């Protein structure tokens, strides 16, 4: 389900929003001006969302999917038709080298 | 109340569930002040034909080119959607049952969100709070290791570092992207580097025996991670910090890395400080671990159930069927081979690679016994490569080859007795040692008799003869 | 002008060889050049005529269709109206467009939309807004604004759009067209740029209810590429046409909401037609739709934040600095609602309230065959309106979010036209999950017994 770690966030009010932290988590580069504008937008949005808190959800379990489907899977077969050729796989990449996608070197390799 | 998983890296503090483990006699002397608290996470790539969430070929190691086994799904293209590999799920359940786990009848896949170039969707489909298997155990010679959980997830692409046109770059190959991966997480029950090795070896043996993964460590088919920390002996609370050691791809490195960490952490603790909570890698060139990245107290993965994959619900009946279909597992076979055939564990361990092998060798031992050949002698010969089994392997042929290679000369019984008497008479000190309880002096006598006779003698019979003479004689 | 034909008419004439591919595409091309300022199409299929010629003997006979630009079309640029995908040429086909092409449907081009489907105006498109063909001072709605406008301007015979919460029904309403949102899980999402995975529903936008029924038949059904599609065989919705609605129980919801004061009376009057046709129409109480705004906002943004994580410019497209302001806001808000310390308060909470909405509709459908309301709280808004609030989209879709988050099917049919502005209101007819026939029955009856459909009842005639 969701991260149920105990919340120790001191910043529960909608008065300020951790824009830079969230931008970093979202991997989106933002400037300081944007950060200011975004903070206003978020506060507005959270005000609307806050109304949710007033609803009584005692004994209500969450719904993550509405179809009610279960146990959907496929047999362990190779689907040649759906596979890309190397050319197709690489077709939209900006930087390619000898069949690989290329990015600037990532430090701290996992 | 939902059970909070405690094996997840850094996410939540481990509760004090660890019992006070006694240290093994193998640990180094620097450990006398501290005891090791260690849990392991092992990833194994399942050898299904196709990938975990798409029908691409699952064969990254042998692919002749990069990026030839991809599709919109495992390449993270817009609109790609996952479809789960049924076999991978069954095999995960199988593994869980083989390790004595409880199977969650209701489970689902979750998204683990983070950014990295080898993760095409920007999230990995894994399992968070309802993994397929929980609460098992692996027995080893150095003590049991409890299994906290086993879950199923998809592998990432492979990154390679290179300098191209003067620029330092990383090259990405998505052949491996979305290959099925089981993750086996233990409790912090491991109390020494040797114990970690024993656990990992046993785990690999079981996985291979079930024929669900090749666990080739050099190729990354099995990856080891050890979470290590130290505490004072007798303490039951878990240490305040944890150092994760990753990128270990051999048993030797595992042992070395853990022992290095014990030493390194001891020194820091001795100085009155606490080791930094971090991830470290092992460098065999330098013989030490090194910082890879600082681990925040809790990684921000923002897990939530994957809306693209319906949940999985088993009936107990189905689980029971899978359980019934499990083969007899290595440990049981090894015990039986010892009881019924006197085959030593160290030999069985090496012969029991697969179910086919187990079956074949058992038949071999049965026939060997009938033919008057010691199964353990046979086993020993195979293990030490003194006996090469010709393909296609045949039981009768194998026994015959062994007998021919170990033929003993015929010897006149009376003459043999004479030689034995002579050797005994010539070695009063050895006889005295024998009478004083040093029974393995028999080996010396046997050697002497064989040399004097100049013949190849049947070891078992000779042993019995000498023993008889010594015990009855003066 | 052949581009003004309905799908049914075009199929009949093409199949009877009374009109040719050349003729119909000639008229389509003419409408394209006449309506360039509407900014409906982002990319055109240069081979539309040749594609059509080779499709004449198939069920869709080569008819020209507009496809929303979030459906991946092999070899044809697909952008989701974002410059992140400015140069993206898919090497694969979405299931929906594959199905459409297999039966002879032809792609005229890819239509403009709110970037990433984030919106209800088409103004967040990074390729400029689309204008409402009914009155170009106004917006077409969104996010399938381009597709709805293409239909309204007869720049195609029919269109494909997608709805996450209102994105088919609302622009259809604003453009005076018919928009059918199938049950979630009825139509495959494979190859559709994902927005909110648990509510995204591809569906047809057309000139008449019949047209949408025909297209629905060709795109609905189980897909092995999409684990969330139902194995049920999809109903033949053309069988729900021309049916009597006598005895059907119709529940009218939301119309007493204070925000609808001006338009509610107009709709209530139109609903009398249903009574005349023998249906039992009465007002019903549903859960406050305002609560659905919160649920939808959280769930959608959370799923969006995850679904848009793949756009890093490595394997395709441009890097994340290309994301527009709306996309950034949504991604970041979504990240926030899933993050440590807030997931319980927001995400989990929203999913629980979602359950309440499911239970509420369950209760209502025990009594009623269909539920009806307005598709939009008012007429189309003026150009520039979406900049008024960072919650513009969600507020505009207030009347549609509850049915979207619960997976219900719904269809919007024109139910009023303002003579002065030439703007429309749409009637939203919702059915229980998997029972699209019920809503099509009622929609078709309403359309045929009123004069609001401008293809059945051309203005001025």
Q: What is the ipTM of this complex?
A: 0.96
Q: Which residue of C has its CA nearest to B297?
A: C340
Q: Which residue of A has its CA nearest to C388?
A: A41
- Same domain for B432 and B335, yes or no, is no
Name subunits touching C (3+ CB pairs < 8 A). A, B
- Per-residue pLDDT of chain C (461 residues), as tens digits, is 999 999 999 999 999 999 999 999 999 999 999 999 999 999 999 999 999 999 999 999 999 999 999 999 999 999 999 999 999 999 999 999 999 999 999 999 999 999 999 999 999 999 999 999 999 999 999 999 999 999 999 999 999 999 999 999 999 999 999 999 999 999 999 999 999 999 999 999 999 999 999 999 999 999 999 999 999 999 999 999 999 999 999 999 999 999 899 999 999 999 999 999 999 999 999 999 999 999 999 999 999 999 999 999 999 999 999 999 999 999 999 999 998 888 888 899 999 999 999 999 999 999 999 999 999 999 999 999 988 887 888 888 999 999 999 999 999 999 999 999 999 999 999 999 999 999 999 999 999 999 999 999 998 75
Mutation site, A74, A100, A103, interface B, largest B CB count within 10 A: A100
Distance CA B392, CA A54 (A): 75
Q: Whose CA is closest to C122, among C174, C64, C77?
A: C174
B125 domain residue, yes or no: yes
Residues in chain B closer than 8 A to A65 (CB atoms): 305, 307, 310-311
Q: Residue range A41-64: average pLDDT?
A: 89
- Same domain for B164 and B198, yes or no, is yes
- pLDDT of B114 higher than 50: yes
CB within 8 Å: A3 and C293: no
Work out the pLDDT band at B234, boundaries 50, 70, 90.
confident
Residue B197 buriedness (CB in 10 A; 0-12 / 13-18 / 19+): buried
Lowest mean pLDDT among B16-25, B88-97, B283-292, C295-304: B16-25
Is the Cβ–Cβ distance between C374 and C254 less than 8 Å? yes
Nearest CA-CA distance, residue A86 and chain C, Å: 11
Residues in chain B closer than 8 A to C192 (CB atoms): 79
What is the average pLDDT value for chain A, to the nearest integer?
83
User: pTM value?
Assistant: 0.89
B22 domain residue, yes or no: no
- Same domain for B352 and B465, yes or no, is no
Reading phi first (left if > 0) and then psi (alpha if -120 to 50, else beta), residue B228 is in beta
The last residue of one of the domains, among B261, B286, B320, is B320
- pLDDT of B144 higher than 70: yes
- Same domain for B398 and B424, yes or no, is no
Distance CA C126, CA C122 (A): 9
Q: Which residue of B has its CA nearest to A102?
A: B171
Looking at per-residue pLDDT, the higher value among B465 and C298 belongs to: C298
Residues in chain C closer than 8 A to A103 (CB atoms): 314
Q: What is the per-residue pLDDT for B24?
A: 42
Helix (H, G, I), strand (E, B) or coil at C415: strand
Residue among B76, B79, B172 minimizing CB distance to C193: B79
Is the Cβ–Cβ distance between B217 and B30 less than 8 Å? no
Reading phi first (left if > 0) and then psi (alpha if -120 to 50, else beta), residue C219 is in alpha
Distance CA C344, CA B26 (A): 47
Residue among C192, C315, C340 minimizing CB distance to B79: C192
- The set of catalytic residues of C is 68, 143, 167
CATH of the domain at B430: 1.10.10.410
Looking at per-residue pLDDT, the higher value among C211 and B453 belongs to: C211
Those residues of chain B whose CB sits closer than 8 Å to some CB in chain C are: 71-72, 75-84, 111, 113, 115, 117, 120-123, 172, 174, 298, 300, 302, 304, 307-310
- pLDDT of B29 higher than 70: no
CB within 8 Å: B169 and A101: no
Q: What is the per-residue pLDDT for B23?
A: 42
B73 domain residue, yes or no: yes
Residues in chain B closer than 8 A to A73 (CB atoms): 83-86, 89
Range of the domain at B446: 413-472
B7 domain residue, yes or no: no
SS (H, E, C) B355-399: HHHHHHHHHHHHHHHHCCCCHHHHHHHHHCCCCCCCCCCCHHHHH
The last residue of one of the domains, among B364, B381, B405, is B405
- pLDDT of B20 higher than 50: no
CB within 8 Å: B75 and A108: no
Asked if the C-beta of C103 comes within 8 angstroms of chain A's C-beta atoms, the answer is no
Taking the alpha carbons of C247, C250, C251, C256 in that order, is the dihedral positive or negative? negative
Distance CA B120, CA B67 (A): 13
Number of C-beta neighbours around residue C249 at 10 A: 15
Distance CA B324, CA B344 (A): 28
B421-428 own/partner pairs: CB under 8 Å, 24+ apart = B421/B469, B422/B452, B423/B448, B423/B449, B423/B452, B424/B466, B424/B469, B424/B470, B424/B473
Mutation site, B1, B49, B55, B161, interface A, largest A CB count within 10 A: B55
Nearest CA-CA distance, residue C377 and chain B, Å: 30
- CA-CA-CA-CA dihedral for B270, B276, B281, B286, to nearest 10: -40
B20 domain residue, yes or no: no
pLDDT tens for B323-340 read: 999 999 999 999 999 999
Cβ-proximal residues to C147 (8 Å cutoff; 6+ apart), any chain: C66, C67, C68, C111, C113, C159, C160, C161, C171, C205
Angle at alpha carbon of residue C363, lines to C362 and C369, rounded to 5°: 75
Residues in chain C closer than 8 A to B302 (CB atoms): 305-306, 335, 338-340, 343
Q: What is the per-residue pLDDT for C22?
A: 97
B12 domain residue, yes or no: no
CB within 8 Å: A74 and B310: no
Q: N- to C-terminal Cα distance for chain B?
A: 77
Is the Cβ–Cβ distance between C183 and C433 less than 8 Å? yes
Helix (H, G, I), strand (E, B) or coil at C162: strand
Residue B62 buriedness (CB in 10 A; 0-12 / 13-18 / 19+): exposed
B23 domain residue, yes or no: no
The phi and psi torsions of B158 (rounded to 5 degrees) equal: -105, 135
Asked if the C-beta of C335 comes within 8 angstroms of chain B's C-beta atoms, the answer is yes
C2-448 belongs to which homologous superfamily?
A: Amidase signature (AS) domain (3.90.1300.10)
- Same domain for B237 and B90, yes or no, is yes
What radius of gyration do chain B's Cα atoms show? 28
CB within 8 Å: B307 and C90: no
Asked if the C-beta of C54 comes within 8 angstroms of chain A's C-beta atoms, the answer is no
Nearest CA-CA distance, residue C352 and chain B, Å: 14
Mutation site, A23, A45, A51, A83, interface C, largest C CB count within 10 A: A45
Q: What is the per-residue pLDDT for B283?
A: 87
Residues in chain C closer than 8 A to B122 (CB atoms): 306, 308-312
- pLDDT of B31 higher than 70: no
Nearest CA-CA distance, residue A99 and chain B, Å: 6
Work out the pLDDT band at B32, boundaries 50, 70, 90.
low
Lowest mean pLDDT among B17-21, B266-270, C218-222, C232-236: B17-21
- pLDDT of B262 higher than 70: yes
- Same domain for B183 and B287, yes or no, is yes
What is the average pLDDT value for chain B, to the nearest integer?
88
Nearest CA-CA distance, residue A9 and chain C, Å: 6
Residue C456 buriedness (CB in 10 A; 0-12 / 13-18 / 19+): middle
Cβ-proximal residues to C41 (8 Å cutoff; 6+ apart), any chain: C32, C66, C108, C109, C110, C111, C112, C146, C150, C155
- The segment with the largest mean pLDDT, out of B18-27, B315-324, B388-397, B398-407, is B315-324
- Same domain for B78 and B113, yes or no, is yes
Mutation site, B74, B75, B78, interface C, largest C CB count within 10 A: B78
B397 domain residue, yes or no: yes
Residues in chain C closer than 8 A to A13 (CB atoms): none
Q: What is the per-residue pLDDT for B247?
A: 79
Residues in chain A closer than 8 A to C305 (CB atoms): 26
Q: Whose CA is closest to C110, among C206, C43, C63?
A: C43
Question: What ranges do the domains of chain A cover?
Answer: 13-56
pLDDT tens for A20-36 read: 889 999 999 889 988 98
Q: Which residue of A has its CA nearest to B248?
A: A110
Distance CA B156, CA B181 (A): 10
Q: Residue range B143-150: average pLDDT?
A: 98
Work out the pLDDT band at B16, boundaries 50, 70, 90.
very low
């Amino acid at each position: 389900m969701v991260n149920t770690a105990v919340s120790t966030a001191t910043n529960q009010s909608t008065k300020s929003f951790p824009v830079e932290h969230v931008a970093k988590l979202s991997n989106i580069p933002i400037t300081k001006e944007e950060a200011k504008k975004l903070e206003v937008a978020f506060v507005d949005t959270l005000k609307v969302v806050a109304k949710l808190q007033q609803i009584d959800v005692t004994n209500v379990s969450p719904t993550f999917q509405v179809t009610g489907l279960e146990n959907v899977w496929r047999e362990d077969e190779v689907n040649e038709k759906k596979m890309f050729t190397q050319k197709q796989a690489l077709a939209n990449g900006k930087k390619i080298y000898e069949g690989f996608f290329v990015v600037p070197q990532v430090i701290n390799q996992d | 109340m939902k059970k909070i998983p405690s094996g997840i890296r850094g996410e939540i503090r481990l509760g004090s569930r660890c019992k006070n483990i006694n240290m093994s006699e193998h640990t180094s002397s620097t450990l006398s002040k501290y005891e090791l608290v260690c849990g392991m996470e092992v990833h194994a790539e399942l050898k299904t034909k196709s990938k975990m969430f798409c029908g691409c070929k699952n064969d990254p190691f042998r692919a002749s080119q990069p990026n030839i086994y991809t599709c919109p799904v495992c390449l993270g293209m817009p609109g790609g959607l996952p479809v789960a590999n049924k076999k991978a799920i069954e095999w995960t359940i199988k593994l869980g049952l083989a390790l004595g786990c409880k199977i969650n009848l209701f489970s689902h896949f979750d998204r683990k969100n983070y950014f990295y170039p080898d993760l095409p969707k920007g999230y990995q489909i894994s399992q968070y709070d309802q993994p397929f298997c929980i609460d098992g155990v692996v027995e080893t010679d150095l003590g049991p290791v409890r299994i906290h959980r086993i879950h199923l997830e998809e592998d990432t692409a492979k990154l390679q570092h290179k300098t191209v046109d003067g620029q330092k770059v990383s090259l990405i190959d998505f052949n491996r992207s979305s290959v099925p991966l089981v993750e086996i997480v233990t409790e912090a029950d491991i109390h020494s580097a040797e114990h970690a090795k024993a656990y990992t070896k046993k785990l690999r043996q079981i996985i291979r025996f079930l024929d669900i993964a090749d666990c080739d460590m050099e190729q990354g088919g099995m990856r080891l991670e050890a979470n290590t920390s130290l505490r004072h002996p007798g303490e039951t609370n878990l240490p305040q910090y944890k150092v994760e050691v990753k990128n270990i791809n051999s048993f030797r490195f595992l042992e070395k890395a853990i022992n290095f960490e014990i030493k390194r952490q001891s020194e820091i603790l001795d100085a009155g400080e606490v080791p930094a909570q971090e991830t470290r890698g092992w460098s065999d060139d330098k013989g030490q671990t090194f910082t890879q990245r600082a681990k925040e107290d809790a990684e921000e993965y923002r897990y939530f159930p994957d809306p693209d994959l319906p949940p999985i619900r088993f009936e107990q009946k189905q689980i029971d069927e899978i359980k019934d279909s499990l083969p007899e597992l290595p440990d049981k076979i090894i015990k039986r081979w010892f009881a019924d055939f006197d085959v030593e564990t160290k030999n069985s361990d090496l012969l029991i690679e697969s179910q086919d092998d187990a079956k074949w060798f058992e038949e071999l031992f049965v026939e060997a016994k009938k033919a008057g050949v010691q199964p353990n002698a046979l086993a020993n010969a195979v293990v030490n490569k003194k006996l090469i089994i010709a393909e296609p392997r045949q039981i009768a042929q194998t026994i015959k080859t062994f007998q021919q290679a170990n033929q003993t000369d015929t010897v006149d019984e009376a003459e043999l007795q004479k030689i034995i008497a002579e050797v005994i008479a010539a070695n009063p000190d050895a006889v005295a040692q024998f009478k004083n309880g040093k029974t393995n002096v028999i080996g010396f006598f046997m050697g002497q008799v064989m040399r004097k006779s100049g013949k190849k003698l049947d070891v078992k019979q000779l042993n019995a003869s000498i023993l008889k003479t010594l015990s009855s004689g003066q | 002008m052949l581009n003004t034909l309905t799908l049914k008419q075009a199929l009949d004439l093409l199949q009877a060889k009374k009109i040719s591919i050349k003729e119909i595409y000639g008229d389509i091309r003419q409408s394209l050049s006449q309506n360039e300022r509407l900014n409906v199409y982002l990319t055109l299929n240069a081979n539309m005529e040749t594609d059509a010629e080779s499709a004449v003997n198939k069920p869709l006979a080569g008819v020209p269709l507009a496809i929303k630009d979030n459906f991946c079309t092999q070899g044809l640029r697909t952008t989701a109206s974002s410059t992140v995908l400015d140069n993206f040429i898919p090497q694969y086909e979405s299931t929906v467009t594959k199905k459409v092409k297999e039966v002879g449907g032809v792609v005229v081009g890819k239509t403009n939309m709110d970037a990433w489907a984030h919106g209800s105006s088409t103004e967040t498109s990074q390729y400029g807004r689309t204008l409402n063909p009914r009155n170009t001072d106004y917006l077409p709605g969104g996010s399938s604004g381009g597709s709805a406008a293409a239909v309204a301007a007869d720049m195609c015979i029919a269109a494909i759009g997608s709805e996450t919460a209102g994105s088919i029904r609302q622009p259809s309403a604003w453009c005076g067209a018919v928009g059918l949102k199938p049950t979630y899980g009825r139509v495959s999402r494979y190859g559709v740029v994902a927005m909110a995975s648990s509510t995204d529903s591809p569906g047809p936008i057309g000139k008449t209810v019949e047209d949408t029924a025909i297209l629905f038949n060709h795109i609905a059904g189980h897909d092995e590429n999409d684990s969330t599609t139902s194995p049920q065989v999809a109903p033949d919705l053309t069988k729900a046409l021309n049916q009597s609605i006598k005895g059907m129980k119709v529940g009218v919801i939301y119309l007493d909401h204070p925000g609808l004061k001006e338009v509610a009376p107009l709709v209530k009057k139109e609903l009398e037609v249903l009574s005349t046709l023998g249906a039992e129409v009465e007002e019903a109480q549903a859960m406050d739709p305002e609560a659905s705004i919160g649920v939808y906002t959280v769930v959608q943004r959370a799923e969006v934040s995850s679904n848009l994580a793949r756009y890093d410019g490595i394997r395709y497209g441009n890097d994340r600095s290309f994301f527009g302001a709306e996309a950034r806001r949504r991604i970041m808000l979504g990240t926030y609602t899933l993050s440590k310390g807030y997931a319980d308060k927001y995400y989990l909470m929203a999913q629980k309230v979602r359950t309440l909405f499911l239970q509420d509709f369950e209760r209502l459908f025990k009594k009623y065959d269909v539920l009806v309301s307005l598709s939009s709280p008012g007429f189309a808004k003026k150009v520039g309106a979406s900049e008024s609030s960072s919650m513009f989209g969600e507020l505009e879709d207030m009347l549609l979010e509850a049915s979207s988050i619960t997976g219900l099917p719904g269809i919007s049919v024109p139910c009023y036209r303002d003579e002065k502005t030439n703007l429309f209101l749409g009637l939203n007819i919702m059915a229980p999950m998997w029972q699209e026939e019920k809503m099509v029955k009622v929609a078709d009856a309403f359309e045929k017994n009123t004069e609001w459909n401008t293809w059945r009842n051309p203005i001025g005639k």
